[in-house]
Amino acid sequence: MKRKRFSATMFSLCFCVLLTAQNINIIPQPKMVEMKEGYFTLTEKTLICFNDQQLKFLADYTSDNIRLLNKLELHVNSLTGDKKIARSINLILDNKLSIAEEGYVLSVFPKEILVQAKTSQGLFYGVQTLLQLIPVNGDRKVPSLLINDEPRFVWRGLMLDVSRHFFTIDEVKRLIDEMVVYKFNILHLHLTDDQGWRIEIKKLPELTRKGAWRVPRMGLWWDRECPKEGEEATYGGFYTQEEIKDLVRYAMQRHVNILPEIDVPGHSLAAIASYSYLSSSGLPYKVNPGCKFYGHDDNSLCAGKESTFEFLNTVFTEVAELFPFEYIHIGGDECFKGFWEKCKDCRKRMKDNGLKDANELQSYFIRRLEKMLLDKGKKLIGWDEILEGGLAPNATVMSWRGINGGIAAAKANHHVVMSPNNYAYLDLYQGDPAIEPPTYGMLRLNKVYSFEPVPEGVDPSYILGGQGNLWAESVPTFRQAEYMYWPRAFALAEVLWSPKESKDWNGFINRTEANLQRLSYEDINYSRSFYDAVITPLKDEKGHLLIQLSTEIEGLDLFYSFDNTYPDHHSLLYKNGQKLMIPKDADTFRVVTYKEGKPAGRMITVPLTDLAKRVK
């Protein structure tokens, strides 16, 4: 699969700037940019040269992407010794450089482009920055400059939930191609859940024969009809082990580690539907299609039966062989323990091991998993519920219920990946619910950009980094997944790579607008919700509904109506800070944003009865 890439011309804030880089639109913002005079002009005679054979893939990759960006075919050439070729792009690997492992130095001169790093990974990121400098409008001039750059965090992740909705290998590869542009280096695949088992386990064939398929349903999640007796399960899919190996190779070439997640002991209905002995109840179940079941169906693996751990050992043995990344994610979240409390095997396990409650039984479960993974040369990482009942000795915590779980883990000297739902859950609304696909909660672009992974009072050495998670209950297609990732993942990329001190919301928006043009060029879907009006309903002291408007970004005009007309720049103009009173018998509110006299955001139409329900 040839990667389609995008990015931008490049803007950068730097502490050592000699000239202002007003037309540079790089995301994430580099650590240091020094503008120079002049340009390097790409021509058909420009070569891409490399000084180490392990860089052959990177040279070809660079050539492929320049052809996609600028319709310019550049040949690659291997360098001899320390020789560099003038009027060329020289990729130089030098392990003696005094820079970070993932750092790079990019120098653009009028007669040469030089990318240097001590590792191939650093060079790869330098190339990403260079590609963002190459225009897509036919212009072949690259501005002269010096960039010295390195990441703030080692863990810069995105998660894709492939259980709730299945995404093909080619779609996952496309996501890898999109995320590396912004220097993400970890793809977390949520491979198993109540709604589907997505990875072939050769010794347990029912997991994909039964667990990978469910009855077809549409409509709102949790409002769907449960499977009927005799109804055929036709919706789903899974990855064969050969497909996984191919995907891992593809990712590693692009310096992305794939983190597999096998979610246990809860969220296991797809596994239990395949092998009923795995649950405490032992009852037959079907893979859930998105209907309500929590607390009614037994979706937690039995912690009392040894057969459960034999099953998991088989699963993790094959998973560990497929994924070279040092971590395996075991989930550990939202485990319903009601069936454990009634289970004679679980009660016996608790008695035999001196466990006082079901939380300690889950801790016992996780500790056994940690030992199991250590025996296979892997480290355990799980959602912050693994703290309950006591944390396994060497576990890493992915903190999703806010940051408190991460704080507790770090203070107990455990490594942490910060992924709080109020900053990093990319399945949440990013604009007004009246015009967005149905989900829950709100996470606007500016909130993501304000994310700080290191809380006050926490030793930063325990914070590996952060991650954005896309749960797929309301994401049935890859096109929709792109819409949910971008541009919020731009903000995460900058949070996780760039220096904390360099944050600049207005500058980020300028660079985002330039990058969105690249996404359009590459036919990558994205959201423009940050251009939309933000509607805040409230009530006065008499209980009358009022409406206050605002915007995420500066420079927008808001035009509105109550009279069932569609507002434009001739309609009522909102004045900042106004509290709009509702005219008598009005039933609908509409608002649209303009920028520099042209429509910017989408028309939002909301019944006033719906707005009244939003008042907190």
Q: Where in the chain is the domain with CATH 2.60.40.10?
A: 532-614
pLDDT score of 262 more than 90: yes
Q: Does residue 612 contact residue 543 with C-beta atoms inside 8 Å?
A: no
pLDDT at 8: 35
Q: Where in the chain is the domain with CATH 3.30.379.10?
A: 32-149
pLDDT band at 82 (very low <50, low <70, confident <90, very high): confident
pLDDT score of 60 more than 70: yes
pLDDT band at 83 (very low <50, low <70, confident <90, very high): confident
Residue from 188, 190, 267, 415 carrying the catalytic annotation: 267
Q: Report the distance separating Cα 302 and Cα 594, nearest Å.
A: 57
pLDDT band at 18 (very low <50, low <70, confident <90, very high): very low
Q: What architecture (CATH level 2) is domain 32-149?
A: 2-Layer Sandwich (3.30)
For 511-530, what is each residue's pLDDT tens digit?
999 999 999 999 999 999 99
In this prediction the pTM is 0.95
pLDDT band at 488 (very low <50, low <70, confident <90, very high): very high
Q: What architecture (CATH level 2) is domain 532-614?
A: Sandwich (2.60)
Average pLDDT rounded to a whole number, residues 86-94: 95
CATH number of 155-498: 3.20.20.80
Q: Report the distance separating Cα 218 and Cα 440, nearest Å.
A: 17
CA distances from 355 to 348, 395, 441, 596, 610 (A): 10, 20, 37, 66, 49
Q: Does residue 185 contact residue 499 with C-beta atoms inside 8 Å?
A: no
For 328-367, what is each residue's pLDDT tens digit?
999 999 999 999 999 999 999 999 999 999 999 999 999 9
Mean pLDDT estimate for the chain: 94
pLDDT score of 462 more than 70: yes
193 is catalytic: yes
Q: Report the distance separating Cα 132 and Cα 134, nearest Å.
A: 6
SS3 247: helix
For 226-246, what is each residue's pLDDT tens digit?
999 999 999 999 999 999 999
Average pLDDT rounded to a whole number, residues 553-573: 98
Average pLDDT rounded to a whole number, residues 75-104: 93
For 356-369, what is each residue's pLDDT tens digit?
999 999 999 999 99
Q: Report the distance separating Cα 304 and Cα 355, nearest Å.
A: 12
Omega of the bond prior to 487 within 30 degrees of 0, cis? yes
Average pLDDT rounded to a whole number, residues 479-495: 98
pLDDT band at 84 (very low <50, low <70, confident <90, very high): confident
384 is catalytic: no
329 is catalytic: no
pLDDT score of 5 more than 90: no
Residue from 150, 161, 178, 193 carrying the catalytic annotation: 193
Q: Where in the chain is the domain with CATH 3.20.20.80?
A: 155-498
| Residue 129: other Cβ atoms inside 10 A | 23
Which H/E stretch holds residue 326? none
For 173-210, what is each residue's pLDDT tens digit?
999 999 999 999 999 999 999 999 999 999 999 999 99
pLDDT score of 80 more than 90: no
Query: Phi and psi of 341, rounded to 5°?
Result: -65, -20
